[in-house]
Each structure stands twice: as structure tokens, then as C-alpha cells.
Amino acid sequence: MNRTEFFVALWNQYIQVTPQADSIHALFNERGEDVINDHVAFRTFDIKGFDLDRATELLATIGYEAFDSYTFPDKHLRAKAYRVPDDSNAPKIFFSELIRSELGEEAQAIINKVTRGLEGELTLSDLTGRYPFHKPTFDEYQSLANASEYAGWLSTMGYQANHFTVNVNALQTLESVEEVIELLLEHQYQLNEVGGRIKGTPADLLVQASTIADQMTFEFSDGAVSDIPSCFYEFAHRFNESNGQLFQGFVPNNANAIFESTDRR
Ligand code: NI
């Protein structure tokens, strides 16, 4: 799978569970916009063969190199940012992992149960949509999500793009995240309000917003059926660093709030 095929497969899987992304994309297209993807994000557990180290190896096979790393202490996460050094048009990748040892015993036991028998290593094709876990019961899911919304999400959604991101700099008819938000609100899309609709300022070099994740029906291992959060769409406007280069990294404070786009409602 080359880089182009990877992103086509990712998008096709993503819009299956995130119909709002497809319709927002169409809304931009109707305005004559050619939507450019700033980045996609993935989530995983810190399990050997499925962790950030494995992600780094996998992403290298399609030209990506890690260029920054981040920690999110209150969410028990660490993350790395990846880009293609010789192709500034390639979407960046933000890959995070849950640090299991920072969770309580009960949550760790549920993760152990959900991931038991996980064999081999994560593959590129897994990232385009695979659920390799054992489904939790509804009670296990609630308990796990109470300890970590991220873990609850991952235990039900498995591997796929958690979000795509519209590159606001590349839009012709909208000049800012504020204008994008105005358009989305006119069309009744729900936005992540954590810390305010707009995350970051031009001084942070990255201004972002995101929708609230779509919902999908999930059947738990005990037969319980409930709606769960799937994935969301993000919007990113980047600003120049003091050296005149467009900032390519991520801002932990923004990302910390954006993670909550998949919290249960
Ligand atoms: Ni993002």
C-alpha cells in the first residue's frame, strides 16, 4: 500500500462511521473548495507491537518521520507527530497511545480482557479499519470510559482514522476558523465546546476547532446495544513561525481539548 492508497482507504472507512465528515466535505466542495487534509490521527494502547514504536516503523514504510512528541498527563496519553520530510503537501499524522499503567486496576483489567490474545504486530492495513479486540460488556465499557474516555473509545472503535482535518489555510472562500465555525453552525453541525469552540490563538501558531463525534450503534459482548461516539472532523489554521516557516506541529493544550470530541454525551 502506498501513501495515496493508504489515505484513500482511510477516508473511505472514516466516512462510513462519520457521515458528517462526508457531508461537510460536500458542503465545502459546493462552495468550489478543494479540501486539503492537514492531518489524520490514530489512537492505540501501549502494547508491544501495537504501540507508538510500532507506529513509527509502520509510518516509515510510507515515508513518514516523527518530528515532535507530546504528553497529556491528565489523559494518560503520549503522542508523536509525523510528516513526510520531502513532501510538505502530504498530510501530517498525529499518533497517540494510552499509558495503561497510569490507570486504576479495574480499568487495566478491562483493557487486559479486551486485548487478550492480541498477536503479532499492527499493520498499515489495520490502521485503515480493523477491530482486533474482544468486545467489552456494556458495564465494562462504561467503567473503562469513566476511567478514560479514550480507552472506552478505542475498546469499541479499534483502529481507523479518529479524525481528518480540513486545512483552513488552503480554503479560498473562508479565511479563518471563525468563518468555518459560522458556516458549520448555519448548517446545524455540533461543535466541541471544551475550552471554547476555538482552540488556540495565532500566537500559538495553530488555531483549531472540531465537531462532536458522530454516533453509531454498537452491540456489546453481553448483547446490550447502545449508541457510542465514532469519529469527528477537525479544522486547522496554521501561522508562520518567527523564521517565516509555517508551523507544522501541534499544540498540546488544543489537542487535549480536541480529544474530548469523542467523549460520551
Ligand atoms: Ni487533530
Rounded mean pLDDT of 164-184?
98
* Spacing, Cα 222 to ligand 1 middle (Å): 33
Q: Does the pLDDT value for residue 84 go beyond 90?
A: yes
* Spacing, Cα 60 to ligand 1 middle (Å): 20
Query: Who surrounds ion ligand 1 at CB < 5 A?
Result: 41, 234
Q: Does the pLDDT value for residue 105 go beyond 90?
A: yes
Q: What is the pTM of this model?
A: 0.97
Model confidence at 88, pLDDT cuts 50, 70, 90, reads confident
Contacts of 157 (CB under 8 A, 6+ apart): 17, 131, 228, 230, 231
Rounded mean pLDDT of 114-138?
96
Cα gap 12→24, rounded to integer Å: 15
* Spacing, Cα 54 to ligand 1 middle (Å): 20
Taking residue 78's Cβ as centre, other Cβ atoms within 10 Å add up to 18
CATH of the domain at 111: 3.10.180.50
**Percentage of the chain modeled with pLDDT above 70:** 100
* DSSP annotation of 169: G
pLDDT at position 150: 98
Which among 198, 197, 232, 228 has a CA at the least distance from the CA of 212? Answer: 232
* Spacing, Cα 236 to ligand 1 middle (Å): 8
Assigned C-alpha cell, 240 = 508562520
* Spacing, Cα 47 to ligand 1 middle (Å): 23
Q: Does the pLDDT value for residue 94 go beyond 90?
A: yes
* Spacing, Cα 156 to ligand 1 middle (Å): 20
- Domain of residue 77, residue span: 3-262
| Tally of CA atoms within 13 A in the half-sphere of 42 that contains its CB | 31
Q: 154-171 pLDDT, tens per residue?
A: 999 999 999 999 999 999
Tally of domains in the chain: 1
* Spacing, Cα 92 to ligand 1 middle (Å): 9
